[in-house]
């Protein structure tokens, strides 16, 4: 708690899914006052505009940069240019503004989408540059990976205390359940619960189900980011994940079972699977700042489904 005493924290994207859980952790577990946390709204402070970046970093001790334009496979296919431009511009400008302001600590939150398409399992941070990302999310992944280059360059030239984290797919209460832009777990939850409510006997799912993914419960992700902010100060990127993978087919079965759906699952194999496999080596996070994921996938899914049913 002494680390956060009297510190002003800028949390871009702080009103979003991950950001809201970071705020909750800071307030309830670290004793940070809400008055210490600045959360600029995208409506009032579009971070693609340089002058807004200059304003939000004034008198700040820590920046945690979460603000991003994100979505699932369909969203990435539909808006690749937007995803590249918005993410790289927001990141480049907020880092530069923080440097000019002399902000003591900057935390850049990247993405697992930065990894090459055929990265050996488990993904090690040193494999990050050994190939091109999976095509459907490459513009987003490369935009975020460019910010790692910037972070390391700014540390080298300016001595800027900036770290870079690579979280895997997140899920949990408060997730985005919009089918146009949601990721895989919230999309499945919405499809199954709506099918039950409408008494539908079938649910359509993209791909073959053979691809694998790793999922990190959002409260665990928040703890990992905060722990890294407190304890980590090196140029090397760090994975944040659970270190376990599950195939999409297994995941669909699990979400359907927990949701109570008993109908048929129809696989639309004309749609892409995305990256073939995804599972992180999480040993660096444990070694450097003692982070380990605590939430079992079944428990996390039960919590997320319960939240969805109570709020939608």
Domain of 98, CATH number, reads 3.40.50.720
- Give the count of alpha carbons within 13 A of 222, CB side only: 25
Q: Assess if residue 181 is contained within a domain.
A: no
Residue 105 main-chain phi, psi, to 5 deg: -145, 135
Instruction: Convert the pLDDT of each residue in 15-33 to its tens digit.
Output: 999 999 999 999 999 999 9
Provide the pLDDT confidence category of residue 50 given band limits of 50, 70 and 90: very high
Say whether pLDDT at 275 is over 90. Answer: no
Query: What's the rounded mean pLDDT across residues 215-224?
Result: 98
Quickly list H helices, the chain. 17-29, 50-56, 73-78, 80-101, 138-158, 184-197, 218-231, 248-259, 283-289, 297-311
CA end-to-end span of the chain:
36
CA dist 305 → 1, 53, 268, 271, 299 (Å):
33, 37, 24, 25, 10
Write out the residue range of the structural domain in which residue 48 sits.
2-171+215-244+276-295
Tell me the pLDDT band of 166, cut-offs 50, 70 and 90.
Answer: very high
pLDDT at 241: 98
**% of the chain residues with pLDDT over 90:** 91
Q: Residue 183 and residue 26: Cα distance in Å, rounded?
A: 26
Of the residues 115, 140, 154, 217, only one is catalytic, namely 140
**222 occurs within a structural domain:** yes
97 assigned to some structural domain: yes
For residue 69, is it within any domain? yes
Instruction: State percent of the chain over pLDDT 70.
Output: 100
> What average pLDDT does the chain have?
95
Query: Is residue 164 among the annotated active site residues?
Result: no
Kindly state the average pLDDT of the residues 125-146.
Answer: 96
Candidate from 70-74, 103-107, 116-120, 198-202 with smallest mean pLDDT: 70-74
Domain membership of residue 253 (yes or no) is: no
For the chain, the domain total comes to: 1
pLDDT at residue 1 is higher than 80:
no
Residue 179 located in a structural domain: no
Q: What is the pLDDT of residue 83?
A: 96
This prediction has a pTM of: 0.94
Query: Could you tell me if residue 156 is inside a domain?
Result: yes
């Amino acid at each position: 708690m002494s680390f956060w005493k009297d510190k002003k924290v800028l949390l871009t994207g702080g009103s979003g899914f991950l950001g809201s859980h970071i705020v909750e952790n800071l307030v309830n577990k670290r004793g940070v006052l809400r008055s210490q946390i600045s959360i600029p709204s995208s409506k009032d402070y579009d971070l693609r505009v340089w002058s807004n970046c200059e304003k939000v970093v004034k008198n700040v001790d820590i920046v945690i940069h979460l603000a991003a334009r994100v979505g699932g496979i369909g969203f990435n296919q539909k808006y690749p240019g937007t995803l590249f431009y918005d993410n790289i511009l927001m990141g480049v400008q907020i880092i530069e503004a923080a440097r000019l302001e002399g902000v003591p600590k900057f935390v850049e939150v990247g993405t697992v989408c930065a990894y090459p398409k055929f990265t050996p399992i488990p993904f090690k941070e040193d494999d990050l540059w050994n190939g091109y990302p999976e095509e459907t999310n490459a513009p987003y992944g490369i935009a975020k990976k460019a910010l790692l280059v910037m972070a390391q360059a700014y540390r080298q030239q300016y001595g800027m205390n900036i770290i870079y984290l690579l979280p895997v797919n997140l899920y949990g209460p408060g997730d985005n359940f919009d089918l146009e832009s949601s990721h895989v777990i919230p999309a499945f939850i919405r499809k199954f619960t709506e099918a039950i409510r409408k008494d539908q006997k079938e649910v359509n799912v993209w791909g073959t189900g053979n691809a694998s993914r790793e999922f990190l419960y959002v409260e665990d992700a928040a703890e990992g980011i905060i722990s890294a902010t407190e304890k980590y100060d090196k140029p090397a990127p760090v994975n944040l994940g659970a270190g376990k993978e599950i195939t999409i087919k297994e995941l669909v079965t699990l979400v359907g079972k927990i949701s109570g759906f008993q109908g048929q699952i129809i696989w639309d194999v004309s749609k892409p699977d995305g990256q073939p496999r995804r599972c992180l080596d999480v040993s660096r996070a444990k070694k450097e700042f003692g982070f380990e994921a605590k939430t079992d996938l079944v428990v996390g899914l039960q919590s997320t489904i319960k939240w969805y049913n109570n709020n939608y």
